Chains A and B, each alone.
Chain A
Amino acid sequence: MAKNLTAKILSSKEIEFLKEKIETILSEKGIIIENHPKGLELLKKGGAEISGQRVKFPKPLIEESLKQVPKQFTLAAIDPKWDMVYPHPEGLFYTRTNTGGMYYLSETFEYHHITMDEVAEWTRLTEALENINFWSLPSTKPVGFPAETIDIHTLDTVLRNTTKHGWVQPYELKNIKYLIELAAVVAGGKEQLRKRPIISLISCTAPPLTIKPMDVEVILQGALNGVPLQPCSLPTAGANAPITPQGIVLMACAEVLAQVIIAQIFAPGTPCIATPLLFEMDMKTTNAAQSKMSTTMGRMAAIQLFEEGYGIPAHTYATGTDSMVLDAQAGIEASSLAHMVALSGASVLGGAGQIETAKTINPQQLIIDNDLFGMVKQLKAGFEVNEETTAFNEIMGLTGRESFIDMEHTFRHFRDGYKTRVFNYDSRTKWITKGSKDIIARTTEIYYKIKETYKPITLPEDVSKEMDSIVKHADKELGK
């Protein structure tokens, strides 16, 4: 029974090799922590070796810190039906929408900087898709509010349109507290947010081997407030990281592990999901690409390293494309990524709904990704081989050339597996009668149908008012 299918790109020896190298980097070379005296002080107290802004983590400290990383935890949702228990109870994965995309390719294929109305629309679509587990924030154009509070306004909009968990990227150091406050209000207070964290936070390194002050503060605030972290590294192979997938894996995983360790030093037991998000510089165009095969292989290695090597849940881009449009390249890249990252054992498949190397989001792509994830879940779950599933008795019971279509066995099993919404299985004649629609046209129709059946979410009035007050206060304090 090949349940929980896996594709292992690393041997056990290679996992140990990478772990040893990572721990050497962290203990002998260290990382730079820029301009965060409090963070440095806490790390020093926690046993790190500090020299100026360089922080080294002695191997015993690494070992001790890793023991503190929780092996089981829940990322809560506003509606508990969307809670995510780690590790996944069925050995499958969770999924999330793209984060940080600045542009929107609308359903009528107009391309522009995403507006707040579109953020609301996008969130409602995310809410309606059964295979999308949590959301993340797009990068909205600041119209009608200060540019300094883009993330706060965007989170406010999203929280009014969702019951799912969210992964939040602060844009400025001073904004972090407001983002946590907004989530706390919806959760029912800071203590409730700690018990049931309806958001997790993004911290990022600035490769190579540097953490900026804002991201140290994210880790600190997250750790102190009981908000889980999904710490990232976003290196670009050949630019600020080694060109080889093996090299970028080493560097990115060292950076992510450093953040996990820092979180445990700040507050032992902080839930972490390791999030190496790899890119590669295209050496003809100098653009960063996210869907090349070497990047996919790197992601597979990074996932396996964390999941199998460290027992830490891992998360990376597992769909998306470098194409500007929804074309064959988009389909091939998204599918390749989803399959391989899922089979590598990832706990979270990220990036749903993105094109143009994660810079743009599109509703049809999100709906297609929803189906893609459903299909890959089926694959990952594998299947059982026994008398029932092989229809052994039915085959043995054949007396002539009976049809299987009306057999009980068929009736028991025809719903097995994931049923896609967006693919065509009509005959050519019927397909023509239905308007000769390609996947984009069909998905667009599905999108309009989903929009017709949206159930609006209404927050309690007191919650809504308090959120308004937080946002207003943030604008006043932070806006220029």
Chain B
Amino acid sequence: MASLESLAECVINGEREKVQAITKSLVDEGKDPLEIINQGLIAGMSVVGARFKNEEIFVPEVLMSAETMQLGMEVVKPLIADESIPTVGKVLLGTVEGDLHDIGKNLVGMMLESVGFRVIDIGVDVSPDKFANAIKEENPDILAMSALLTTTMLHMKDTIDFLKEQGLRDKVKVIIGGAPISQEFADEIGADGFAPDAASAADLCKELIA
């Protein structure tokens, strides 16, 4: 028999083939959709997040659980208003101008979604102008920029400076990451944070939102 606990367990175990049936069962029983999300789906992901932080499980297992949670969300989302869907915050994500690398950025996006953030990924080779326009349009809590090259990382500063010119800097927290990035560089260019890897990025975003 379906229960919120069994739904959470399904997410923890990454059982994609079972989650929609369990979720639908709970909906049919009359369970509050928000309760299904918070105490079933998100509760399961919270356990996964804690286990990952403790190095008890691996990234592919986290992503499997995240996918399971998303499949469950597909069943309940139509039942509630958009603005009621719980979200930890909104992150605008992109790789800076001149840089086409996106693996790290994509992984950060997946990890952020797995902990409840709504992620708007605007892709690669994103100019300061394009970041600014996206901020105006999407109103994110956090701007997360990625760069893999020592040449392109300098566009992170260009972007921050441009946001200041546009009067947008105070509207958004800025975090940066990528192989050549360091805390020292983040401090130098006035970023709010630096994350050395995808998992840390998710934690950093949670701290900045809190």
- By a beta-carbon cutoff of 8 Å, the part of chain A in contact with chain B is 34, 102, 113, 139, 141, 147-148, 150, 171-172, 206, 212, 236, 238-240, 281, 283-288, 359
Contact = CB atoms under 8 A, between A and B. Distances in A.
A178 B68 CA distance: 52
B149 to A, nearest CB: 7
Contact of B197 (A102, A236, A286): A286
A148 B179 CA distance: 19
Nearest to A240: B103
Contact of A139 (B150, B154, B182): B150
A34 B100 CA distance: 11
B151 A284 contact: no
A283 B150 contact: no
Which of the four size classes fits the interface of chain B?
Answer: 10 to 19
B149 A285 contact: no
A105 to B, nearest CB: 14
7 contacts: A148-B151, A150-B151, A206-B100, A206-B101, A283-B60, A285-B199, A286-B197
Contacts of B197: 285-287
A286 B60 CA distance: 10
A139 B103 contact: no
Given A284-B59, A286-B198, A286-B199, A239 B103 contact: yes
Nearest to A114: B150
A208 to B, nearest CB: 10
Q: Interface SS of chain A: helix, strand, loop or mixed?
A: loop
B107 interface: yes
Contacts, number: 42
Contacts of A284: 55, 58-59
B199 A359 contact: no
A324 to B, nearest CB: 12
Contacts of A239: 103, 107
Given A150-B151, A283-B58, 11 more contacts: A102-B150, A141-B150, A147-B151, A147-B154, A171-B151, A236-B103, A281-B59, A283-B59, A284-B59, A285-B197, A286-B107
Contacts of B149: 171
Most buried by B among A171, A239, A286, A359: A286
A281 B197 CA distance: 11
A139 B153 CA distance: 13
B180 interface: yes
A34 B151 CA distance: 20
A172 B149 CA distance: 11
Nearest to B198: A286
A307 B82 CA distance: 58
A102 B199 contact: no
Interface string B174-185: 000001101000
Given A147-B151, A148-B151, A284-B55, A212 B180 contact: no
A287 B60 CA distance: 14
A179 to B, nearest CB: 14
B179 A359 contact: yes
